[in-house]
Structure 1
Amino acid sequence: MCGIVGYIGKQDASPIIIEGLRRLEYRGYDSAGICTLNGGEPQIRRAEGKLINLENILREQPAIGSRGIGHTRWATHGRPSEINAHPHRAGNIVVVHNGIIENYLKLKERLQGLGHNFCSETDTEIIAHLVEEHFRQCDDFETAVQLALAEVKGAYAVAILCNDEPDKLIAAKLGSPLVVGQGQGEYFVASDIPAMLSHTREMIFLEDGEIAVFTPEKMWVTDLVGQPVAKQSKTITWSPLMAEKGGYKHFMLKEIYEQPRALADTIAGRLQSEEGNIYLEDFGLSDAQLAGLDKIFIIACGTSWHAGLVGKFYIEKLARIPVEIDIASEFRYRDPIVTDKSLTILISQSGETADTLAALREAKGKGGKSVCICNVVDSSIARESDGVIYTHAGPEIGVASTKAFTTQLVALYLLALKLGRSCGTLTADSCRDKVEDLLALPRKLEETLELDEQIEKIARDSMNARDFLYLGRGNQYPIALEGALKLKEISYIHAEGYPAGEMKHGPIALIDENLPVVVLVPQNNIYDKVVSNMEEVCARGGKVIAITSGEESGLQGKVDTLIQVPQTTDDLMPILTSIPMQLLAYHIAVLKGTDVDQPRNLAKSVTVE
């Protein structure tokens, strides 16, 4: 995740950068740092932990200068520590970075062979040394950055200073957000608009593969080979609250659109592609402990429980360990059989859900091991579990969960891969293949979001229905449940999710021309079975909204409405089919005029039993 702020101008950079980092602290909690230039040695201050620790250091050791860069970090490569905190320096080059450098090991080996010595465990330090190496050869800061980034594979947003050319600040992006703020005789750069909005409303949005060079008087943008790129500034007219919403009408819509980035952040730093392994920081359990498990419990509430239902498919398929899935409020009242060979996986967006916390304590009291999947650092469930997998989704303000849900699915998939490798049921080659599919997922989410306009029209056509039925089979059944829950939560329309194969055992009596039936029918090994169930609905006059995958599904003309998401593996398809569910519920709620972000009777974090 991580947050970047940079400044070049006439003011003291340090307070501007700290203010910006404070607005970005949701992007990283485990360390922070700053570097300023003032005609002498670069002044670097870093601290482990939250931003307040860095502020305390700056009170004792101010960093003076009118050029500076700052960073707040969420660890990917290297444990949280002062030595791994950004900025990173090599000679007179200082760098802050958001993203992940996939080929950093190969680059590091080459640079070590050229005499470079590394101080940290991070991939970011490689960028500093790579720029320094090219600067030695060409003696030009801008050219050195271009040559260095041309060698880098992965995702990055960087801000870079060079003490030999102190009147320049260089920023670049590929796959990670970076925005430029234009002032009078000064420039700002940051990971998100709110970090700069108190100083300027003139923003320039960098695109992938662009490098921006700043002096206090001017800026210019090029591509990676130095060709000029024309940019236009945009005046931001948002109020502070709108700035937090990123210009979207509702937090929920903003969070739906943040999912490609959120998934990329959940994946970042956790894939060891060369070895075909999964690295989960703060996990707390060894491979030997995982290999000795004979049962897994997944415990959650609401949307997180739906994620857990998908997780059961993942774990049993990839690790071949039996999984029981429990609603948290029921778990401790059934006297579950938990042993020291059991693992309990707790899922909670907030990490404070009272029923889930009570279930955790029940499992631990019986001697079982525990790991939680959570979005909030240092929450109660995270502190009390033996290990934690943070989803890195960023703040989720809308009560109806969207990006927290899909990042939970990714976290569960990563955990299933790790279990499979630890238990010997998944080979390195097989894991590498699945990792490749996972890395392609954020882009496919972006493609799925392009269906928004089509789904808004479907919402207009069905907004007056009194009831909805959602059908799915296999790992799509939990997504049917989640789709129905989303609609209930924010539009107040009654909806039911049901296994498609069970429809004929009761719900088929409800079907008539007034009942919209959403059928999840991606192309997989049970496609024909679901189509058969769907035809039972069509035969009785039901209004079918079919969500399928790929371009040639064979359903054209057979249903009232067809939504086609990109094709991916069967394991990852629930993540893609979740998006139309979210958008349909959102647009119906907006059309009905309900309070989308704060629906009646609901709270974001349920901290009572």
Structure 2
Amino acid sequence: MCGLAGVIFGKKRRRAEERDHLAWLFTRLLVLSESRGPHATGVAWLNRDGEHRLFKRPVPAGQFVTDKAFQEVLAGMDNRATLLVGHTRWRTRGDERINRNNHPIRAGDVIGTHNGTIYNADRLFRRLRLRRFAEVDSELLFRLADRAFRHETPDLERFKRDLALCRGQITAVLASRRRPGTVLVLKGNKPLELRIHRRHRAALYASDPAFLDAVLADERGWRPLPLEPMTMLVFRHESLMEFSRESFTFIAQGKL
């Protein structure tokens, strides 16, 4: 069990106050997500020019957000941002003291976060001859996505064919520095909830709807974005509200 939290940004000229408010909502979601993963915390952002910042540490979220480096990462975002991802890790495989095992993970040009376990990751790494730098199975998911983003237009059909080879649990959020205006949200057999706001041109997400309800209790204009299991949402920075849905599949399996 891990916690996912983040903001997906549509194109908009936001004032600093609005950017700061969205970052504050994100920070609150991240801290609440500590209950889903106390062993490590990480964040990353990506902008439409392909620039990114990534910061992660083997500490719980409540401690993580007090780190000066965390504040510097958030302060580095501007109106070019397309995605802000956060992750609270519950260690299963891979020592959290080795930071490359923590999330967000960068694999090639893809940056993402994953909740779940891919039980046949070792075999698929060998079968598909994929590069590997970490111990965690989650890296496989982002290596597969990186293959799909090598084309002029992301090859989602290839990505879905590769996902169908995986066995376990998958819910994830990811994007590529090659195509930073496209954000993929995959809800498989692990929880994920979203809220979207037309005026902010932004979507918030978290693993637990209670976290979103708590953070947005005094906010107006955020509406639920229903998302069924085994669904991929494709958000585009230029027109966030015109997202598309794709079905995908894999070999869903609970804990061994």
Match of 2:95 among 79, 92, 103: 79
Q: Which has the higher contact order (CA 8 A, sep 6+)?
A: 2
Preserved contact between residue 3 and residue 190 of structure 1 (Cα < 8 Å) = yes
Please report how far the alpha carbon of residue 25 of structure 1 lies from its aligned counterpart in structure 2 after TM superposition. 1.4
Aligned partner letter, 1:33: G
Q: RMSD in angstroms over aligned alpha carbons? A: 2.3
1:49 matched to 2:73: no
For residues 300-352 of structure 1, give each alpha carbon's deviation from its aligned partner in whole angstroms, at most 9, with x where no partner exists: xxxxxxxxxxxxxxxxxxxxxxxxxxxxxxxxxxxxxxxxxxxxxxxxxxxxx
Alpha-carbon distance in 1 for matches of 2:101, 2:111 = 14
2:15 maps to none
For residues 74-101 of structure 1, give each alpha carbon's deviation from its aligned partner in whole angstroms, at most 9, with x where no partner exists: 0112122322110111121111010111
Match of 2:138 among 117, 124, 127: 124
For residues 428-481 of structure 1, give each alpha carbon's deviation from its aligned partner in whole angstroms, at most 9, with x where no partner exists: xxxxxxxxxxxxxxxxxxxxxxxxxxxxxxxxxxxxxxxxxxxxxxxxxxxxxx
Preserved contact between residue 211 and residue 224 of structure 1 (Cα < 8 Å) = yes
1:210 matched to 2:220: no
Alpha-carbon distance in 1 for matches of 2:61, 2:34 = 7
Alpha-carbon distance in 2 for matches of 1:164, 1:44 = 17
- Give the gaps of 5 or more residues in structure 2: 13-17
After TM superposition, the structure 1 = structure 2 runs for residues 294-443 of structure 1, keeping only pairs within 5 Å, are: none
Alpha-carbon distance in 2 for matches of 1:120, 1:138 = 28
2:33 maps to 24
Preserved contact between residue 101 and residue 152 of structure 1 (Cα < 8 Å) = yes
1:58 maps to 70
> Which deviates more, 171-180 or 196-205?
196-205
Alpha-carbon distance in 2 for matches of 1:97, 1:168 = 17
CA 164–148 in structure 1, closer or farther in 2 if over 3 Å, else same: same
Structure number with higher helix proportion: 1
Match of 1:105 among 111, 114, 122: 122
SS where residue 46 of structure 1 aligns? strand
SS where residue 164 of structure 2 aligns? helix
SS where residue 80 of structure 1 aligns? coil
Alpha-carbon distance in 1 for matches of 2:71, 2:55 = 11
Preserved contact between residue 40 and residue 61 of structure 2 (Cα < 8 Å) = yes
Preserved contact between residue 141 and residue 165 of structure 1 (Cα < 8 Å) = no
Q: Percent identity?
A: 26
The structure with more radius of gyration: 1
1:190 maps to 206
Aligned partner letter, 1:67: L
Preserved contact between residue 174 and residue 185 of structure 2 (Cα < 8 Å) = yes
SS where residue 132 of structure 1 aligns? helix
Aligned partner letter, 1:205: P
Preserved contact between residue 30 and residue 48 of structure 1 (Cα < 8 Å) = yes
Match of 2:107 among 90, 98, 104: 90
Alpha-carbon distance in 2 for matches of 1:168, 1:139 = 10
How many residues align? The count is: 225
Alpha-carbon distance in 1 for matches of 2:38, 2:229 = 26
Aligned partner letter, 1:4: L
Aligned partner letter, 1:219: F
TM-score (norm 1): 0.35
Match of 1:67 among 63, 67, 83: 83
1:36 maps to 45
For residues 385-412 of structure 1, give each alpha carbon's deviation from its aligned partner in whole angstroms, at most 9, with x where no partner exists: xxxxxxxxxxxxxxxxxxxxxxxxxxxx
CA 140–208 in structure 1, closer or farther in 2 if over 3 Å, else same: same
TM-score (norm 2): 0.78
Alpha-carbon distance in 1 for matches of 2:211, 2:170 = 19
Preserved contact between residue 33 and residue 61 of structure 2 (Cα < 8 Å) = no
